[in-house]
Amino acid sequence: MWTQLRQEIEKTRTEFHLQDRLKSVGLDEWKDIEERLYNTFSVAKSHRTRPTWIWENLKVDNLGIATDGQPYQLLDKLIDPGVDLFLFLNETVNEKDKFWIYEGRVEAVKKVIEETIGIDEVIIIDKKYNWILCVNHHDVVIVGGQLMVDRLKNLIKR
């Protein structure tokens, strides 16, 4: 039985015909992807101390901006449309935090995030692990990695 968030994501993927453009990573892939996420971007040393709020523990150069409740409007301004992404959406399952990991491009990622009920914390990384973009439960966008930091700085200047 799928959790409530997984059901909502699947409902959105189906309703907006995104099944081919945003896919859940395989059961044999998620652990390595999550491991590399933390090793690349977080200062957390142990798998037991890994924070769901990775944005509080980034080890790469980072920058954040508060939004007016519309953080996802920045996604296609910061992320190139042809870049392959991993999308991490967190949910509490059996009193533990769990990431559901999907792969796709920014158009599909943005649609799922905007249309799915129950999303709290969002992490997006490029599949080359060059940068990270987080949207927290306060609608603050936090980016890490020089490319994203530069893009957000340029966007703020406009």
What is the mean predicted confidence (pLDDT) over 105-132?
Answer: 93
Compute the CA torsion angle 44, 50, 56, 59 (nearest 10 deg).
Answer: 30
Low-confidence winner among 21-25, 46-50, 142-146 (lowest mean pLDDT): 46-50
pLDDT at 4: 85
Give the list of residues 6+ apart from residue 136 with CB closer than 8 angstroms, or none.
53, 55, 121, 142
Q: Per-residue pLDDT for 46 more than 90? A: no
Q: Answer with the residue of higher pLDDT: 18 or 3.
A: 18
For residue 116, pLDDT beyond 80: yes
What confidence tier does 146 reach under pLDDT thresholds 50, 70, 90? very high
The domain segmentation of the chain, as residue ranges, is 4-157
Asked whether 65 and 140 are in contact (CB, 8 A), the reply is: yes
DSSP state of 136: -
Residue 47, pLDDT > 60, answer: no
At 121, list the tokens.
Answer: 């914390």
Instruction: Classify residue 134 as left (phi > 0), alpha (psi -120 to 50) or beta.
Output: beta
Under 8 Å between Cβ of 125 and 132:
yes
The whole-angstrom separation of Cα 105 and Cα 79 is 9
**Which residue is it, tokens 């523990």?**
57
Predicted structure pTM score = 0.91
23 sits in which H/E element? strand 22-24
The SS3 call for residue 28 is: coil
Tell me the C-alpha distance between 9 and 15, whole Å. Answer: 10
Q: Which two tokens stand for residue 128?
A: 């080359």
pLDDT digits (tens, 9 = 90+) for 64-95: 999 988 899 999 999 999 999 999 998 766 56
